[in-house]
A = this chain, B = another copy of it.
Amino acid sequence: MIAADQLRHFTQQIFLAIGCSEADATLAADVLVSADLRGVDSHGVARLPGYVRLYDLGRLNPQPNIQIVHESPSTAVVDGDRGLGLVVGPWAMQVAIEKARQAGTGWVAVRNSNHFGIAGYHAMLAVEHDMIGQAMTHAAPLVAPTFSLDKLLGTNPIAVAVPALSEPPFLADFASTAVAYGKLEILQRKGQAVPLGWAQDADGQPTSDSNAVRNGGALLPLGSDREHGSHKGYGLGAIVDIFSGVLSGANYGPWVPPFATAGFMSAQEGVGIGTGHFFGAMRIDAFRPAEDFKWHMDTWIQRFRNARAVDGHQVLIPGDPEREMEARRLSEGIPVLEPVVKSLEDLGERFGIRL
């Protein structure tokens, strides 16, 4: 177990060591560690060596000049100048929030960025302003559209955060695939089979081989197969790709550059600039009084949470499991896996920073 503060401090020191400003290093560390706190271990400090590797490869600018390159009253396109997605994301989200303050809503497409951590972190930034927050990003291609043998989409997550009154916010944050790649990797390391419906093999057939994606196979869209609606998950992932990539001027589809740790994919010739994201903020009182809305959100949440449940289960509100995990890990510490601890210690050694 490592305390969140300790992990955050270490992470911040590493980002400082590669040349980030104090403010950027602090923010980036907060975004990363918030993933560990919420139990999304695949998007937390486990990725820190990957960001440093991006820096080593010359693909990460630690002192980016992030700027708006085009705008209208309710929209903007932001160029991230190869900065940390962890920093570009909140920057763009602030633009969306400011636009929403003036125009009712704000929508920001980002290009020239890279991995932005968990989508939910960014979406949640709007909630304290009595706004609904949205964040989505594309990612390097791991997913085959329905009937495709080619991997053309990333796991392309969407997050939507909605404020309530006395209840905690509603926070849906999910990949547009049947399962996150991290879950497959866990079974890979254990040498175990994966459930049918998570992946396909190199011939596009159902497989329980946890190594399928490495061997010419692919992750499957949410819905798993055509009969269970995989074309819908494909459509959802495609929308995220178009909003994040085509609208912003970033790459898209199979041209989205791989994250530094994804060694088994190679970058292809690009069709745009870097990786893209898409953010939105909608001011509640641009629709109805915020207090009314939040009172009804409480009613919504309570009705769903109190639904009759299957034996041994309860009906959860999107965001419940992550919030409960966060409370537990804040008090008990974060159980960082041994290989991840080792990789962080190696990083620390390189820069003379103690974990």
Q: Which residues of A contact B (CB under 8 A)?
A: 70-75, 77, 102-105, 107, 109, 132, 145-150, 152, 160, 162, 170, 172, 174-179, 195, 197-198, 203-205, 222-224, 227-229, 231-236, 238-239, 241-242, 246-249, 252-254, 271-272, 282-284, 286-288, 292-293, 296-297, 299-300, 303-304, 307-311, 313-316, 318
Contacts and interface: CB of A to CB of B under 8 A. Distances in A.
Interface centre among A70, A176, A204, A304 (most CB of B within 10 A): A304
A149 B253 contact: no
Which 6 pairs, one residue from A and one from B, show the smallest C-beta to C-beta distance?
A: A72-B104, A172-B235, A204-B310, A72-B286, A147-B313, A75-B104
Contacts of A75: 104-105, 282-283, 286-287
A70 B287 contact: yes
B174 A229 contact: yes
Contact of A318 (B132, B224, B235): B235
Given A104-B74, A300-B242, A149 B228 contact: no
Contacts of A296: 246, 252, 271-272
A129 B156 CA distance: 28
Contacts of A170: 238, 242
Given A74-B286, A283-B72, A297 B246 contact: yes
B174 A235 contact: yes
Contacts of A205: 310
B147 A309 contact: yes
A223 B178 contact: yes
A83 to B, nearest CB: 20
Interface centre among A77, A222, A238, A308 (most CB of B within 10 A): A222
A135 to B, nearest CB: 13
Contacts of A103: 72-74, 103-104
A288 B74 contact: no
Contact of A307 (B150, B227, B236, B288): B150
A54 B248 CA distance: 44
Given A197-B227, A246-B293, A247-B282, 7 more contacts: A75-B283, A105-B105, A146-B315, A150-B315, A174-B235, A204-B311, A248-B287
Nearest to A149: B308
Nearest to A226: B313
A172 B288 contact: no
Contact of A304 (B145, B177, B248, B318): B145
A310 B203 contact: yes
Contacts of A315: 145-148, 150
Contacts of A146: 315-316
Contacts of A172: 235-236, 238-239
B104 A174 contact: no
Given A303-B152, A315-B147, A293 B174 contact: no
Contact of A249 (B72, B236, B288): B288
Contact of A223 (B222, B247, B297): B222
Contacts of A175: 232
Given A73-B73, A149-B310, A318 B179 contact: no
